[in-house]
Amino acid sequence: MSEHELRVSKIRNGTVIDHVSGGQSLNVLAILGIDGTEGSVLSIAMNVPSGRLGRKDILKIEGRELNQDEVDVLSLIAPEATINIIRDFEVVEKSRVERPHRVRGILSCPNHNCITQSGEPVRSDFEVLDDGVRCLYCGTIVREHLAQHLLE
């Protein structure tokens, strides 16, 4: 997208998460635990036409540099996402999200008999498979609509 077509202005310092699958940006915020009360300036563009993805979302989080561990879990819902760290208006670091091997405390197990669903203080723990995630407590596999299993 050329300069005069920029939908959201450039930021001075922070993180730009680009090439998020169209419509997933609110789930990205949920995974990152960002709900707007932190006071960081957030800009979101949703369903922007993109050559590579058809439609993409872009999130700009000012004043906060997300680290690779924080963002890798995004690969579950936004496998093509690019993380750009911005300092003084320049992109100083660009990386792709990488699929983690395990995801702890972010997704909830859909099995109501699972110990993680019993009200006990047990953090959810999933192994990441090629085509989904598997609960390490009860073995339940979730393949689709992962975002619906995000913990509040």
What pairing do the DSSP bridges indicate for beta strands 82-87 and 54-62? unpaired
Q: Which residue's CB is nearer to Zn ion, number 96 or number 149?
A: 149
Evaluate whether 45 touches 7 at the Cβ level (below 8 Å). Answer: yes
- Which x/- pattern, by CB under 6 A, does the window 66-105 give for ligand CTP? ----------------x-x-x--x-x--x-----------
Evaluate whether 57 touches 26 at the Cβ level (below 8 Å). Answer: no
- For residue 1, the tally of other CB atoms under 10 A from its CB is 12
Q: Which residue's CB is nearer to ligand CTP, number 57 or number 72?
A: 57
Residue nearest to ligand CTP (CB): 10
| 137 burial type by CB count under 10 A (0-12 exposed, 13-18 middle, 19+ buried) | middle
Whole-angstrom Cα distance, residue 55 to residue 45? 11
Amino acid at 66: L
Q: Of ligand CTP, Zn ion, none, which one does residue 108 interact with (CB within 5 to 8 Å by kind)?
A: none
Identified binder of ligand CTP from the candidate list 58, 83, 107, 135, rule CB under 6 A: 58
Q: Of Zn ion, ligand CTP, none, which one does residue 43 interact with (CB within 5 to 8 Å by kind)?
A: none
Residues that bind ligand CTP (CB under 6 A): 10-11, 16, 18, 58, 60, 82, 84, 86, 89, 91, 94
